[in-house]
């Protein structure tokens, strides 16, 4: 599903130009010509991004920003503020009020599309808890040889869309090194790299050639298993648990012993609406198992 961009501009010519630039980049687009229309459209459509001109009429752009960022249900919608090239004050005010980025007139189509793409990508990473400083999509994780977070985002979209289109199952598995800090402290280089490389190799030995392995955080892998339903996921889980119990997953003595945490979500599931949902629900299982601060 394409991201939905709300383009808000009081000038009909600029509104059309921005609309066409976003549409040409593959986004779904809705428009608004004044402040009240912006607020109504945001409430009704919940866009993935708002491109907001600083010179909106009736309700000005800065008041719109205040309203959006004060509403718990709307505050995570990113705003790209559009200003005149020399209007530094509007840019400063917009950023202070929570705008994620800005775009300046005169417009360049490639810049419009790149700014929108960058904001949507950063917002998606934040929503999924993926670190910002990750290798590009055409590289592998240098330590484990697994796929990168950027590659995971692409694969999530592709595999979930394919599963929905053909009615096939899809499983997401997150494998976390629960005592990463203790292992890093005990290692010679102060990192988890050696152990994560061993675990990554072990995980590859437990899955099929058609499955996908990604390292998405310092202490965390994600596995996508196409054509795998809940029963198939249980089979893979049992295999992993057996290799964790006897230490085969990392293949050599490691001190302290790795404490592995695993969560699994399989589709079809009525609560999973997208690839992002699949990953979020799986990671949420791991977070829910962690004891709250101050608990026994």
Same domain, 69 and 154: no
Non-local (6+) Cβ contacts of 208 within 8 A are: 225
Q: What is the dihedral of CA 166, 152, 127, 119, to 10 degrees?
A: -100
137 in a structural domain: no
pLDDT at position 136 is 56
294 in a structural domain: no
Same domain, 185 and 272: yes
265 in a structural domain: yes
Same domain, 263 and 161: yes
pTM of the model: 0.62
Non-local (6+) Cβ contacts of 168 within 8 A are: 162, 226, 227
Return the CA Rg of the chain. 22
Same domain, 164 and 270: yes
296 residues of the chain, pLDDT tens digit each:
689 999 999 999 999 999 999 999 999 999 999 999 999 999 999 999 999 999 998 999 999 999 999 998 999 999 999 999 888 889 889 988 989 888 888 888 888 998 898 888 888 877 777 665 555 555 788 899 999 888 898 889 888 988 888 888 999 999 999 999 999 999 988 889 999 999 999 999 898 878 899 999 999 999 999 889 898 899 899 999 999 999 999 998 899 999 999 999 999 876 888 899 999 999 999 888 776 544 43
Same domain, 207 and 113: no
Domain span at residue 54?
Answer: 4-128
Same domain, 123 and 175: no
d(Cα 157, Cα 1) in Å, to the nearest integer?
8
CATH number of the domain where residue 242 is located = 3.30.70.270
162 in a structural domain: yes
Out of 94, 128, 162, a domain closes at 128
Same domain, 102 and 171: no
296 in a structural domain: no
Q: What is the pLDDT of residues 53-105, one digit of tens each?
A: 999 989 999 999 999 999 989 999 999 999 998 888 898 899 889 898 888 88
Same domain, 95 and 35: yes
Q: Could you tell me which of 268, 269, 169, 180 has the C-alpha nearest to residue 224?
A: 169
295 in a structural domain: no
134 in a structural domain: no
d(Cα 241, Cα 245) in Å, to the nearest integer?
6
Same domain, 164 and 263: yes
Total count of domains within the chain: 2
Q: Find how far residue 251's CA is from the centre of its chain.
A: 32
Q: Please, what is the Cα angle at 153 between 151 and 222, to 5 degrees? A: 75
Out of 72, 98, 128, a domain closes at 128
CATH number of the domain where residue 14 is located = 3.40.50.2300
Same domain, 153 and 26: no
Out of 97, 128, 159, a domain closes at 128
Same domain, 192 and 262: yes
Same domain, 53 and 169: no
CA dihedral (278, 283, 286, 289) positive or negative? negative
Cα–Cα distances in angstroms (integers) from residue 46 to residues 14, 95, 125, 176, in the given order: 22, 21, 19, 33
136 in a structural domain: no
């Amino acid at each position: 599903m394409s991201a939905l961009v709300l383009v808000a501009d009081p000038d009909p010519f600029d509104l059309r130009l921005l609309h066409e630039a976003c549409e040409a980049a593959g986004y779904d687009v809705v428009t608004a010509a004044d402040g009240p229309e912006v607020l109504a459209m945001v409430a009704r459509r919940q866009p993935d991004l708002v491109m907001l001109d600083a010179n909106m009429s009736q309700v000005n752009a800065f008041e719109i920003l205040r309203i959006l960022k004060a509403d718990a249900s709307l505050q995570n919608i990113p705003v790209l503020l559009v200003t005149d090239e020399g209007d530094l004050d509007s840019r400063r005010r917009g950023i202070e009020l929570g705008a994620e980025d800005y775009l300046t007139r005169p417009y360049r189509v490639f810049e419009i599309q790149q700014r929108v793409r960058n904001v949507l990508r950063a917002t998606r990473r934040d929503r999924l808890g993926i670190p910002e400083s990750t290798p590009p999509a055409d590289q592998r994780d240098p330590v484990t040889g697994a796929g990168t977070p950027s590659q995971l985002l692409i694969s999530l979209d592709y595999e979930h869309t394919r599963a929905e289109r053909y009615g096939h199952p899809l499983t997401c598995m997150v494998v976390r090194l629960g005592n990463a800090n203790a292992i890093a402290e005990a290692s010679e280089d102060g990192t988890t790299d050696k152990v994560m490389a061993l675990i990554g190799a072990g995980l590859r030995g437990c899955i099929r050639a058609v499955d996908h392995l990604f390292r998405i955080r310092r202490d965390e892998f994600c596995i996508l298993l196409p054509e795998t339903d809940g029963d198939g996921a249980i089979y893979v889980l049992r295999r992993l648990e057996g290799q964790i119990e006897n230490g085969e997953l990392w293949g050599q003595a490691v001190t302290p012993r790795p404490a592995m945490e695993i969560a699994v979500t399989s589709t079809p599931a009525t609560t999973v609406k997208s690839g992002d949902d699949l990953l979020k629900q799986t990671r949420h299982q791991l977070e829910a198992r962690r004891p709250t601060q101050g608990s026994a």
